[in-house]
Amino acid sequence: MVLLVSTASELVDWRATIPGQRIAFVPTMGALHAGHVRLVERAREIADVVVVSIFVNPTQFGEGEDFERYPRTLDNDMKLLGDLADVVYAPNVDDVYPPDAPPLAKTAGPAGIGFEGAARPGHFDGMLTVVNRLFDIVKPDVAVFGQKDAQQVHLVRRLAIERGGPEIDVVRTVREDDGLARSSRNRYLSPEEREAAIAVPDSLRAVSAHIDSGVAAAVRAGRAVLTAEPLARLDYLELVSPADFTPVDDTFHGEATLVVAARFGTTRLLDTETIIVP
């Protein structure tokens, strides 16, 4: 039976009932889909108990990003989770951001300014602030994140190092049969845009196929896939260093992170892959 709680103090009471057990945590903003389920399954594999949070965090939405209209589907989310989670923490804003004791505000710094940070100024400061606060509330041993939000993963790993925990476990992107990464945003694509969106995973494949010709040539090949698709507007496609999330060039060798973002109508899709640069 899943325990649904809405306050940090209920979590304190619950933790007192499970001394010594390893807690895995999956933070979410709800509107759950198969990608989230995979994260929760992974959490179950690596811990004794699993906590999922469902909280649409106001501080990571910028102006015009419509925090109010973000889908809130708690009943469906609970059904989808079934018995996979032990506890679902679905707080209101005041529980996460108590007006009399505001949580420590975190800043992403230079690694949060490019890519998603450029498209969504302030987003990563808000994301880090809430993740830090949720870590304080849930006190997990390990937290599970999806690979698809590569810049978020980079920043959360750094946060966890700063704080001295939790461990961060990253789960490979769950894809549709045609390769499109599962995302809450896919529901906003028209049928034509959905068909065109295959250009995103195709661009990843193109980079991989051309990497033996060097970073610049591979990046050009990946971008060409998206610029050739009339319904796509390429935002960025870069190979970045996992160390500091800055673009690498032809002098780089080793494991790089390929990040891509493209718009289809009003929907912005992200994807990522690890690429070994020979």
Cα 210 to the chain's mean position, in Å? Answer: 27
Apex 27 CA angle, 23 and 29, nearest 5: 155
Nearer to ligand PAF, 39 or 277 (CB): 39
27 binds ligand PAF (CB under 6 A): yes
Span interacting with ligand PAF, options 26-34, 165-173, 186-194, 203-211, rule CB under 6 A:
26-34
Question: Which residues fall within 8 angstroms of residue 124, CB to CB, at 6 or more apart?
Answer: 60, 108, 112, 116, 117, 151, 152, 155
Residue closer to ligand PAF by CB (options 91, 222) is 91
44 versus 133: smaller Cβ distance to ligand PAF: 133
Identify the active-site residue in 36, 123, 154, 210: 36
Contact between 275 and ligand PAF by CB under 6 A: the answer reads: no
Q: What six digits make up the tokens of 71?
A: 């889908």
Which residues are 50's β-sheet partners?
24
| Site pattern 117..146 for ligand PAF (x: CB under 6 A) | ----------x--xx---------------
Closest to ligand PAF by CB, 126 or 201:
126
Q: What is the arrangement of strands in the sheet containing 3-5, beginning at the earlier edge strand?
A: 3-5, 87-89, 49-54, 23-28, 142-146, 167-171
Q: 278: which residues sit within 8 A by CB, 6+ positions away?
A: 211, 212, 253
Least distance CB 216 / ligand PAF (angstroms): 31
How many chain residues are in contact with ligand PAF, going by CB under 6 A? 10
Q: Which of 29, 39, 144, 225 binds ligand PAF (CB under 6 A)?
A: 29
Cα 173 to Cα 148, 182, 207: the distances in Å are 6, 7, 17
Pairing of strands 49-54, 232-240: unpaired
The H-assigned helical ranges of the chain are: 8-16, 34-46, 74-81, 93-96, 116-119, 123-138, 150-163, 191-196, 199-210, 215-227
Minimum distance of ligand PAF from residue 184's CB (angstroms): 8
Q: Using CB under 6 A as the criterion, what x/- string covers residues 212-241 for binding ligand PAF? A: ------------------------------
Residues 141-180 that bind ligand PAF (CB under 6 A): 149, 152
Verify whether residue 36 is a known catalytic residue.
Answer: yes
Question: Phi-psi category of 254—alpha, beta or left, where left has phi over 0 and alpha has psi -120 to 50?
Answer: left
Least distance to ligand PAF from the beta carbon of 182, Å?
13
90-119 positions binding ligand PAF, by CB under 6 A: none
Rounded to a whole number of angstroms, the minimum distance from the CB of residue 27 to ligand PAF is 4
Q: Does 57 bind ligand PAF (CB under 6 A)?
A: yes
Paired with 54 in beta bridges are: 28
Cβ–Cβ < 8 Å for 162, 104 = no
Q: Least distance from C-beta 207 to ligand PAF, angstroms?
A: 24
Q: How far is the CB of 228 from ligand PAF (least distance, A)?
A: 30
Distance, C-alpha 65 to centroid of its chain: 17
Residues serving a catalytic function are 36
Give the footprint of ligand PAF on this chain (CB under 6 A).
27-29, 57, 60, 127, 130-131, 149, 152
